[in-house]
């Protein structure tokens, strides 16, 4: 369950409290403000605050005095131009703050993006919830022989998958039981054994496994958010972080639809081609039969380019 009944009441209270403003707002984003968007088995992403919208991007680019001085079509054209030519500064004028609940191993991968402001739940101060991530069977795969940091496309047998899930569930439950025993308190903070002294929370937490959930507030500008999404929503990204990125792409669409359109056109749906790769395309257009051996590209680059342009079997 992503949030408790008490937390649902807190969300409802936040959504009921309307604030007058002269600032630009994004109506579609306002509609989901504070609402948790479920991700994985216990995780979520929710928008808690934001600044700016599409008009803030064009306003910064033009250094104009206010909103609505140009037609939407002109704003769209400008945002497309800025994205196409990598003029990133105007996109930095928009910011968004997200509340994210995610497995610790996903958080450690996520935090490698050092372009955000982060404040994480403190297991020194508070007791961690008894919530841990268990993958679905279809997401259990052996190590890839080609990709040293990813999964194979092959699945496990039914018996192998059942054993993996049993290990994950049993270990996760055992370590939480030991976590409570080490502190001598249960998840609600009640003392378990009056005659025993537990160790500090900051020490007991080291026994928890990486599939336990943590939470943080994550604030980032639009430019760096799109860079994060370009990498983490990619098909080669780990599934468990990719589903968070997918949810955030939908948030981006509700927040800045023109920037979202430019992002999907010139980042997510585009291809980066090297100087040699461009020459290969020119040679092919000219009628030459080019192979990997005659292309000047490594096999990996040749395969990647072939997948993008559809000449894998040539």
Digit-coded pLDDT (tens) for 198-225: 999 999 999 999 999 999 999 999 999 9
Regions of the chain short of the pLDDT cut 70: 1, 65-70, 148, 312-314
Pick from 232, 227, 259: nearest CA to 243 = 232
| 134 touches 168 (CB < 8 A) | yes
pLDDT in tens, 181-197: 999 999 888 999 999 99
* Residues belonging to the active site: 232
Which pTM was predicted? Answer: 0.91
- Which CATH architecture does the domain made up of 5-133+211-268 adopt? 2-Layer Sandwich (3.30)
Over the stretch 269-311, which tens digit does the pLDDT of each residue have?
888 899 999 999 999 999 999 999 999 999 989 988 888 888 7
Q: Give me the helix-helix angle, 275-285 and 299-309, nearest 10°.
A: 50
CB atoms within 10 A of CB 14: 13
- Spatial separation of the C-alpha atoms in residues 259 and 252, rounded to whole Å: 8
CA distance 202 to 211: 18
In the chain, CATH 3.30.1360.170 sits at 5-133+211-268
Cα torsion angle, 241, 244, 250, 255, sign: negative
């Amino acid at each position: 369950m992503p949030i408790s009944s008490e937390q649902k009441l807190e969300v409802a209270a936040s959504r009921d409290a309307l604030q007058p403003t002269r600032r630009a707002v994004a109506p579609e984003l306002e509609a989901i403000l504070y609402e948790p968007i479920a991700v994985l088995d216990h995780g979520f992403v929710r928008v808690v605050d934001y600044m700016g919208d599409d008009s803030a991007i064009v306003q910064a680019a033009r250094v104009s005095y206010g909103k609505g001085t140009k037609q939407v079509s002109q704003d769209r054209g400008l945002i497309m131009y800025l994205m196409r030519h990598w003029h990133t500064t105007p996109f930095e004028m928009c910011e968004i703050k997200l509340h994210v609940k995610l497995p610790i191993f996903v958080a450690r991968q996520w935090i490698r993006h050092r372009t955000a402001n982060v404040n994480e739940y403190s297991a020194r101060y508070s007791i961690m919830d008894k919530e841990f991530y268990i993958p679905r069977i279809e997401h259990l795969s052996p190590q890839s022989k080609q990709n040293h940091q990813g999964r194979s496309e092959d699945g496990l047998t039914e018996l192998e998958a059942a054993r993996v899930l049993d290990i994950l569930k049993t270990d996760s439950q055992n370590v939480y039981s030991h976590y409570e025993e080490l502190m001598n308190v249960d998840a609600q903070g009640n003392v378990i054994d009056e005659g025993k002294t537990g160790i500090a929370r900051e020490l007991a937490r080291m026994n928890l496994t990486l599939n336990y959930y943590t939470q943080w507030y994550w604030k980032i500008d639009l430019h760096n958010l799109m860079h994060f999404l370009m990498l983490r929503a990619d098909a080669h990204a780990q599934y468990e972080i990719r589903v968070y990125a997918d949810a955030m792409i939908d948030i981006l669409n509700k927040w800045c639809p023109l920037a979202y359109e430019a992002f999907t056109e010139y980042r997510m749906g585009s291809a980066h081609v090297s100087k040699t790769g461009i020459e290969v395309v020119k040679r092919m257009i000219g009628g030459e039969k080019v192979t990997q051996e005659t292309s000047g590209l490594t096999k990996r680059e040749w395969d990647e380019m072939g997948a993008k342009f559809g000449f894998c079997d040539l």
